[in-house]
Amino acid sequence: MAIKLFGAVGSTATLRVKACLAEKGLEYEFVNVDMSKQEHKSPEFLSRNPFGQVPAFEDGDLKLFESRAITQYLAHTYTDKGTDLIIKDPKQMAILAVWIEVESQKFEPASSKLAWELAYKPMFGMTTDEAVVEENEKKLEQVLDVYESRLSESKYLGGESFTLTDLHHLPNIKYLMGTQTKKVFDARPHVSAWAADILSRPAWVKATTT
Amino acid sequence: MAIKLYGAPASNATLRAKACLAEKGIEYEFVHVDMSKQEHKSPEFLSRNPFGQVPAFEEGDLKLFESRAITQYLAHTYADKGSDLIIKDPKKMAILAVWIEVESQKFEPASSKLVWELVYKAMFGMTTDEAVVEGNEKKLEQVLDVYESRLSQSKYLGGESFTLADLHHLPNMKYLVGTKTKRLFDARPHVSAWAADILSRPAWVKATTA
């Protein structure tokens, strides 16, 4: 199969790409990278991602890493398949690009630290650092206050339709909804409705169950 | 003038947008946001960037924020002006997108914390947190090790020519080479040569002196 995704089942970054592949309705081969055996630090895998992180991606002879570069490649290359995850109009695309950056620069740092402390650490029998949780919940609240305002004017973050910027949020939101941080989303009605909407998309359900 | 950039002269994110405008040879009006007077938190400015951060950007009726969304808009919209900051070939563009993400996800977090601790805090008469410096220098070293390998195979990060992936590094790098962190760049010959090369580009010199 031309498209191969090298990843780990519980990895948020791997899920980000799986979500995109599912939205575009693309067939691919999933290659499990066994992180418990340090496979992500093997020379073979480092040749795919020099940072030794999942996922890595292959489409024919094109090799990529960084989940948001992979999703952008898929969204721009397979524009005629499945859900349209970008916007053709250049001005609307520019606005979409703003909110893609917002996820990257504002939502990801706070939410990924919270997912690590509250979801992953317990899985590995490690102790949650409550100070880190408190600090990052405060940061996340500031971000979600901006989202609450944005989503009161716009159906989705990037505009009137579901796009890459909403998709990029899915993995971290999924994990945080199973933790105390859920309250931060619930307290903001537009954010809460948007989160419920995107988490219920058939492609996301498919990506998280197969 | 159709293009306006709202920013602060010392702000690394503002410099990122200025660098891009200079590379493209685009005329614009610079509107100084006086952060010492909290102008970046005024209702007027918050309507341009709801996170209350510089820069903000305007072209006609298009309003953008997030420096990397602004540079991407400029690079795509003004493809025929000045330096080519993106790559037309779709596969090469996909690889460029990987290294744009690497700057965003790997270089920016570590380097921006170092710039804050070693440069901005001193400007504001605040005390540097040496533990934060040590932790982030370790992280930056891991990133620069990957860059050293990449740049031994590729003239620039994104490919054989200077592109957005390199440009996005300029502001934080400019500040860090004026601090003790310079030694991390100096210790890696390909990184050191690449840094010297991009820091000497006429457009960058113009952006940091005009």
pLDDT tens-digit map of A147-188: 999 999 999 999 999 999 999 999 999 999 999 999 999 999
Q: Which of B16, B46, B128, B135 is nearest to A150 (CA)?
A: B46
A132 vs B: CB within 8 A: no
Torsion of CA B210, B193, B186, B152, to 10 degrees: 140
**Closest Cβ–Cβ partner in B51, B64, B73 for A146:** B51
Q: Which residue of A has its CA nearest to B89?
A: A77
Average pLDDT estimate for A50-61: 98
Mean pLDDT of chain B: 97
Q: Which of B131, B85, B206, B73 is nearest to A95 (CA)?
A: B73
Within 8 A of A77 by CB-CB distance, chain B residues are 90, 94
**Closest Cβ–Cβ partner in B66, B91, B98 for A69:** B98
Mean pLDDT of chain A: 97
Give the rounded percent of residues in chain B with a pLDDT score beyond 70.
100
Residue B207: predicted pLDDT: 95
Size of interface A-B (CB pairs under 8 A): 73
Average pLDDT estimate for B165-190: 98
Whether pLDDT at A83 is above 70: yes
3-state secondary structure labels for all residues of A130-179: HHHHHHHHHHHHHHHHHHHHHHCCCCCCCCCCCCHHHHHHHHHHHHHCCC
How far apart, in whole angstroms, are the C-alpha atoms of residue B55 and residue A96? 17
Residue B1: predicted pLDDT: 60
Residue B120: predicted pLDDT: 93
Whether pLDDT at B3 is above 70: yes
Given an 8 Å threshold on Cβ–Cβ distance, is A105 in contact with B102? no
A43 vs B: CB within 8 A: no
Q: Which of B101, B16, B143, B87 is nearest to A168 (CA)?
A: B101
ipTM, 2 dp: 0.96
Average pLDDT estimate for A196-209: 97
Q: Which two tokens stand for residue A131?
A: 């100070």
Residue A17 neighbours by CB under 8 Å, 6+ apart: A5, A7, A55, A57, A67, A70, A71, A74
Contacts 24+ apart (CB under 8 A), A198-205: A198/A162, A198/A166, A198/A167, A198/A169, A198/A170, A198/A173, A199/A170, A199/A173, A199/A174, A201/A23, A201/A162, A203/A19, A203/A22, A203/A23, A203/A82, A203/A83, A204/A19, A204/A22, A204/A170
B78 vs A: CB within 8 A: no
Within 8 A of B65 by CB-CB distance, chain A residues are 98
Residue range A21-41, pLDDT digits in tens: 999 999 999 999 999 999 999
Residue B67 neighbours by CB under 8 Å, 6+ apart: B13, B14, B16, B17, B55
How far apart, in whole angstroms, are the C-alpha atoms of residue A69 and residue A48? 14
**Closest Cβ–Cβ partner in A51, A68, A105 for B66:** A105
Residue range A131-148, pLDDT digits in tens: 999 999 999 999 999 999
Residue holding tokens 């317990």? A122
pLDDT band of A1, cuts 50, 70, 90: confident
Which of A45, A66, A76 to mutate: most B Cβ within 10 Å? Answer: A66
A135 vs B: CB within 8 A: no
How far apart, in whole angstroms, are the C-alpha atoms of residue A90 and residue A88? 6
Element (H, E) at B209: helix B202-209
DSSP letters spanning B10-57 = T-HHHHHHHHHHHHHT---EEEE--GGGTGGGSHHHHTT-TT--S-EE
Q: Which of A60, A66, A7, A1 is nearest to A31 (CA)?
A: A7
Residue A210: predicted pLDDT: 77
Give the rounded percent of residues in chain A with a pLDDT score beyond 70.
100
Residue range B99-130, pLDDT digits in tens: 999 999 999 999 999 999 999 999 899 999 99
Sheet of A29-32: strands edge to edge? A29-32, A3-7, A56-59, A62-65
Which of B57, B102, B105, B149 to mutate: most A Cβ within 10 Å? Answer: B105
Residue A50 to chain B, least CA–CA distance (Å):
6
How far apart, in whole angstroms, are the C-alpha atoms of residue A138 and residue B74? 33
Average pLDDT estimate for A57-65: 98
Q: What is the pTM of this model?
A: 0.97
Residue range B4-14, pLDDT digits in tens: 999 999 899 99
Residue B91 to chain A, least CA–CA distance (Å):
7
Residue B21, judged by CB atoms within 10 A of its CB (0-12, 13-18, 19+), counts as buried
Residue range A90-108, pLDDT digits in tens: 999 999 999 999 999 999 9
Within 8 A of B57 by CB-CB distance, chain A residues are none
**8 A C-beta contact, residue A106 and residue A165:** no
